[in-house]
């Protein structure tokens, strides 16, 4: 699981920017309002009413009141930009980004008209944050760079650091990991230079998030621990809770689920003290994921559903997306593919509504995995094609974002140079104005105008040339990236074919079984525990070990090539006998292992006889004078024999049992089958006399065989 930075962290960043910088930029609000000749009392009531609606989760009423205020402003009744800045910020923190953007854009237009650069830059940062949440990364990057340009010109280092931190968080989400790390470290240096301690702690935590994304767990832990120590110094309970949850995510990624669960519980205690319900709900979601991975599925699903209910109730879109992803992954883990598809499909629809391309890709990937696990490969391929189309759109969007960022950087440099040139020229004019006549001053003014015109023309020409070169390089890089992606996909398919399948028969090998069997056993145990009254049938997991009789004789008499042909034909018969959903494994040599999913243990004798008869009735062409007949021996059992034991013990005991039964079938004359359809480890008053019960400590097992009776079975010696 890739750790997702808490949604509330970005919300707190927006609030901190409002609390720290807006009063300084605004000066006296009353003076500003009086300067705008706005009805202050009406505006204050409007802001307070919107805040009250948001506190009650009445978001539609809050949006309607905001839109009404915007209409009044357009009619000239309310014109205070600070009012719309407040309204936009309140709606932004309630995840109502579309309405927030309308209010913020109106505030930006008015502040720009008034020439209040301080508030222009802060409004640009708020707009960039909203666009970031809407996954409109190119637009968000443009706003951030414009805000930074103003902060740089005004020498406001603390605010520039805030902008850089927001930009770094967005770059990490876009996958620009190296750029994000460099941006966040630049923000950290500025925060340290300005000695803004609580922002230093937040920035350290964000850098830790980047290292966690890169799976550099030791580096991530080091940054988180430094951030936690500073949060303790500041006595910030909320920040301590957030960072403790991040440390839990590191442990979870490293597979230390018990340690992760402890840390998430500690984080919940800290967040409960702070009273932050949103952060508490998100941490509960992470704890739910950890419990599912730890094996406590019921408790984990309960926490995930609680977080999902809170997200729906408060209409927090980022948290809704995260909990849907977590629930879909949990359902895949317990083999509940239909429920997993439900969460993934709902998440896809919501992501499409808000134009969140990256979330669409995440949910579509889950749908592909779920359909593939169900065996519905046609739907999986259809969704995979849609996913590939979205990836291409994402690549195009990212290319546009790169071009936009470079253009913004070029514009920033151009404005800086123009400002320096203007300052030099102004100083020169002031020095010469004392000694020169009006005609000389006029000549210099004409010359200055000509120089500036030429400079602007040359600057536009150079910018156009750079844009042409950049577009050419981006197109070339895009083609190369597509080629590399195609080569990587082909190599991955080849590697998967080689590592998971037997090259001769095309059947799965032991590696595939080791990756699939633990989940199958857990699913079967879970289904049986949920079905104590026996309402649902076909919940058992069946295991059959099949061996070709006298295979060595075939190799000796006809050669190894003939033996390979027998193995290939034998594997084809197994595919015809068993279902596509059953796991057919070439276990080694002439031995084959079949694991039947969602079956009934009462079907074991019928399956074994159908397999034995199919092999005995088939002819095998080995390029001899006449085709030969081949028989097989089979041992079988339910997997696992007991549903209350661990996986390692289950598998070892089951394989030993079916191997013992196979050996008994061979000693009893071959071309037959012996197996256990039921067993019990509870001791009875009269112990069983069967060798198999003595060997495996069964009190009384039910034996099934194709031979005359149980007494005719020749059991292997101890």
pLDDT band at 358 (very low <50, low <70, confident <90, very high): confident
The reported pTM is 0.51
Q: What sign does the CA torsion over 34, 40, 46, 50 have?
A: positive
313-to-59, 98, 100 alpha-carbon distances in Å: 11, 19, 20
* Model pLDDT for residues 52-61, shown as the tens digit of each residue: 888 887 888 8
Which pair of tokens denotes residue 554?
A: 């075939």
Q: What is the pLDDT of residue 19?
A: 46
* Helices 137-154, 157-174: inter-axial angle, 10-degree rounding: 160
d(CA 280, CA 344): 24
Give the mean model confidence (pLDDT) for residues 264-269.
Answer: 88
Percent of the chain clearing pLDDT 90 (strictly above): 21
Of residues 356 and 244, more confidence is placed in 244
Strand partners, 620: 628
- Count CB atoms within 10 A of the CB of residue 712: 11
Query: In the 8-state DSSP scheme, what is residue 711?
Result: G
What is the separation, in whole angstroms, between the first and last Cα of the chain?
Answer: 48
pLDDT band at 163 (very low <50, low <70, confident <90, very high): very high
Of residues 401 and 246, more confidence is placed in 246
Q: What is the pLDDT of residue 535?
A: 47
Q: What is the pLDDT of residue 32?
A: 40
Give the mean model confidence (pLDDT) for residues 223-238.
Answer: 89
* Topology of the domain comprising 510-712: Alpha-Beta Plaits (3.30.70)
Nearest partner of 145 among 366, 405, 354, 378, judged by Cα = 405
H or E element at residue 557: helix 551-558
Q: What sign does the CA torsion over 124, 125, 126, 128 have?
A: positive
* Helices 257-274, 237-253: inter-axial angle, 10-degree rounding: 170
Of residues 136 and 250, more confidence is placed in 250
3-class DSSP string for 133-150: HCCCHHHHHHHHHHHHHH
644-to-444, 541, 649, 702 alpha-carbon distances in Å: 94, 14, 10, 19
Q: What is the pLDDT of residue 319?
A: 79
d(CA 703, CA 665): 12
Of residues 627 and 395, more confidence is placed in 627
d(CA 91, CA 103): 9
Give the mean model confidence (pLDDT) for residues 506-532.
Answer: 79
Contact 223, 17 (CB under 8 A): no
* Model pLDDT for residues 2-43, shown as the tens digit of each residue: 344 444 454 444 444 444 444 444 444 433 443 444 455 555
Q: Which stretch of 13-27, 207-221, 355-369, 667-681 has the lowest confidence by average pLDDT?
A: 13-27
pLDDT band at 586 (very low <50, low <70, confident <90, very high): very high
Of residues 357 and 361, more confidence is placed in 361
Q: Which stretch of 436-440, 476-480, 706-710 has the lowest confidence by average pLDDT?
A: 436-440
User: Collapsing DSSP states into helix, strand and coil, what is residue 597?
Assistant: strand
Of residues 398 and 616, more confidence is placed in 616
Give the mean model confidence (pLDDT) for residues 113-142.
Answer: 86
Q: Is 541 exposed, middle or buried (0-12, 13-18, 19+ CB in 10 A)?
A: buried
d(CA 245, CA 265): 9
Of residues 85 and 526, more confidence is placed in 85
Q: How many helices (H) and strands (E) does the chain have?
A: 27, 8
Q: Is the pLDDT of residue 684 over 60?
A: no
Q: What is the pLDDT of residue 431?
A: 66
Q: What is the pLDDT of residue 585?
A: 94
d(CA 183, CA 203): 11
Query: In the 8-state DSSP scheme, what is residue 296?
Result: -
Top-ranked range on mean pLDDT: pick from 113-117, 438-442, 613-617, 692-696? 613-617
Q: Which residue has the tokens 């439900």?
A: 342
DSSP string, 195-254: T-HHHHHHHHHHHHHHHHHTT-HHHHHHHHHHHHHHHHHHT-HHHHHHHHHHHHHHHHHT
Strand partners, 702: 678
For residues 157-173, one letter each, b for 16 or more C-beta atoms within 10 angstroms of the residue's C-beta and e for the rest, the string is ebbbbbbbbbbbbbbbb
Q: What is the pLDDT of residue 420?
A: 57
Q: Which residue has the tokens 């279902």?
A: 579
* Model pLDDT for residues 429-476, shown as the tens digit of each residue: 776 767 677 778 788 889 889 998 998 899 888 888 888 988 888 888
For residues 493-514, one letter each, b for 16 or more C-beta atoms within 10 angstroms of the residue's C-beta and e for the rest, the string is eeeeeeeebbeebebbbeebbe
Nearest partner of 167 among 199, 132, 135, 195, judged by Cα = 132
Give the mean model confidence (pLDDT) for residues 280-308.
Answer: 87
Helices in 7-134 by DSSP H: which ranges? 7-26, 29-36, 40-55, 59-74, 81-93, 97-114, 117-133
Q: Which residue has the tokens 């009445």?
A: 58
Q: Which residue has the tokens 């104005």?
A: 433
Q: Which stretch of 97-106, 173-182, 331-340, 430-439 has the lowest confidence by average pLDDT?
A: 430-439
Q: Do β-strands 583-588 and 591-599 pair in parallel, antiparallel, or remain unpaired?
A: antiparallel
CA 27 to chain CA centroid, Å, is 44
Query: In the 8-state DSSP scheme, what is residue 712?
Result: G
Q: Is the pLDDT of residue 273 over 70?
A: yes
Q: Which residue has the tokens 């009404």?
A: 68
CA 460 to chain CA centroid, Å, is 43
Strand partners, 675: 636, 704
d(CA 28, CA 14): 21
Strand partners, 545: 593, 635
Q: What is the pLDDT of residue 438?
A: 79
* Model pLDDT for residues 95-114, shown as the tens digit of each residue: 788 888 888 888 888 888 88
| Arithmetic mean of pLDDT over the chain | 81
Q: What is the pLDDT of residue 409?
A: 54
Contact 131, 166 (CB under 8 A): no
């Amino acid at each position: 699981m890739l750790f997702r930075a808490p949604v509330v962290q970005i919300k707190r960043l927006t609030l901190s920017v409002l609390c720290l910088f807006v009063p300084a930029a605004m000066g006296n609000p009353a003076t500003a309002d009086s300067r705008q000749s706005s009805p202050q009392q009406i505006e204050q009531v409007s802001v307070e009413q919107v805040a009250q609606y948001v506190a009650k989760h009445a978001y539609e009423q809050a949006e309607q009141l905001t839109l009404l205020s915007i209409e009044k402003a357009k009619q000239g009744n309310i014109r205070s930009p600070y009012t719309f800045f407040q309204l936009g910020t309140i709606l932004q923190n309630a995840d109502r980004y579309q309405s927030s953007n309308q209010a913020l854009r109106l505030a930006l237009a008015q502040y720009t008209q008034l020439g209040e650069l301080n508030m222009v830059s802060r409004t640009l940062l708020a707009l960039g944050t909203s666009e970031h949440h809407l996954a409109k990364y190119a637009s968000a990057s443009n706003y951030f760079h414009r805000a930074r340009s103003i902060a740089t010109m005004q020498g406001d280092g603390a605010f520039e650091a805030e902008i850089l931190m927001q930009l770094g968080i967005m770059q990490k989400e876009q996958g620009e990991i190296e750029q994000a790390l460099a941006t966040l470290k630049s923000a950290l240096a500025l925060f340290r230079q300005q000695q803004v301690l609580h922002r230093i702690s937040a920035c350290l935590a964000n850098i830790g998030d980047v290292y966690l994304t890169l799976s550099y767990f030791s580096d991530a832990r080091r940054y988180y621990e430094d951030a936690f120590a500073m949060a303790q110094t500041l006595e910030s309970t909320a920040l301590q809770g957030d960072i403790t949850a991040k440390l839990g995510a590191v442990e979870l990624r490293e597979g230390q689920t018990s340690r992760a669960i402890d840390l998430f519980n500690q984080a919940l205690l800290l967040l409960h003290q702070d009273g932050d319900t949103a952060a508490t709900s998100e941490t509960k979601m992470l704890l739910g994921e950890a419990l599912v991975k730890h094996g406590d599925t019921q408790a984990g699903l309960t926490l995930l559903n609680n977080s999902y209910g809170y997200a729906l109730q408060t209409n927090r879109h980022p948290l809704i997306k995260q909990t849907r992803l977590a629930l879909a992954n949990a359902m895949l883990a317990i083999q509940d593919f239909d429920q997993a598809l439900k969460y993934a499909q709902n998440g896809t629809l919501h992501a499409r509504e808000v134009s969140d391309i990256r979330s669409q890709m995440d949910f579509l990937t889950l749908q592909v995995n779920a359909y593939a696990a169900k065996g519905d490969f046609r739907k999986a391929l259809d969704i995979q094609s849609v996913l590939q189309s979205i990836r291409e759109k994402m690549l195009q969007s990212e290319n546009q974002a790169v071009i936009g960022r470079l253009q913004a950087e070029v514009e920033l440099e151009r404005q800086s140079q123009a400002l320096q040139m203007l300052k030099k020229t102004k100083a020169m004019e002031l020095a010469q104005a004392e000694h020169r006549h009006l005609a000389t001053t006029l000549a210099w003014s004409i010359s200055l105008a000509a120089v500036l015109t030429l400079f602007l023309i040359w600057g536009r020409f150079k910018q156009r040339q750079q844009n042409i070169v950049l577009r050419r390089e981006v197109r070339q890089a895009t083609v190369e990236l597509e080629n590399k992606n195609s080569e990587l996909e082909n190599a991955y398919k080849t590697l998967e074919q080689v590592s998971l399948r037997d090259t001769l028969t095309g059947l799965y090998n032991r590696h595939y079984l080791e990756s699939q069997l633990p989940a199958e056993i857990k699913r079967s145990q879970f289904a049986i525990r949920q079905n104590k009254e026996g309402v649902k049938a076909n919940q058992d997991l069946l295991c059959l070990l099949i061996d070709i009789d006298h295979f060595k004789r075939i190799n000796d008499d006809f050669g190894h090539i003939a033996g390979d042909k027998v193995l290939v034909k034998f594997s084809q018969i197994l595919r015809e006998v068993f279902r596509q959903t059953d796991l057919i494994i070439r276990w080694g040599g002439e031995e084959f292992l079949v694991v039947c999913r969602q079956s009934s243990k009462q079907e074991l004798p019928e399956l074994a006889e159908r397999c034995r008869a199919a092999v005995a009735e088939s002819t095998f062409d080995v390029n001899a004078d006449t085709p030969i007949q081949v028989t097989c021996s089979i041992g079988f059992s339910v997997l696992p024999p007991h549903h209350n034991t661990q996986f390692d013990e289950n598998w070892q005991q089951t394989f030993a049992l079916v191997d013992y039964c196979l050996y008994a079938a061979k000693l009893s004359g071959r071309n037959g089958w012996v197996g256990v359809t039921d067993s019990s480890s509870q001791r009875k008053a009269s112990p069983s006399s069967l060798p198999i019960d003595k060997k495996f400590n069964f009190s009384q097992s039910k034996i099934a065989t194709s031979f005359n009776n149980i007494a005719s079975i020749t059991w292997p010696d101890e």
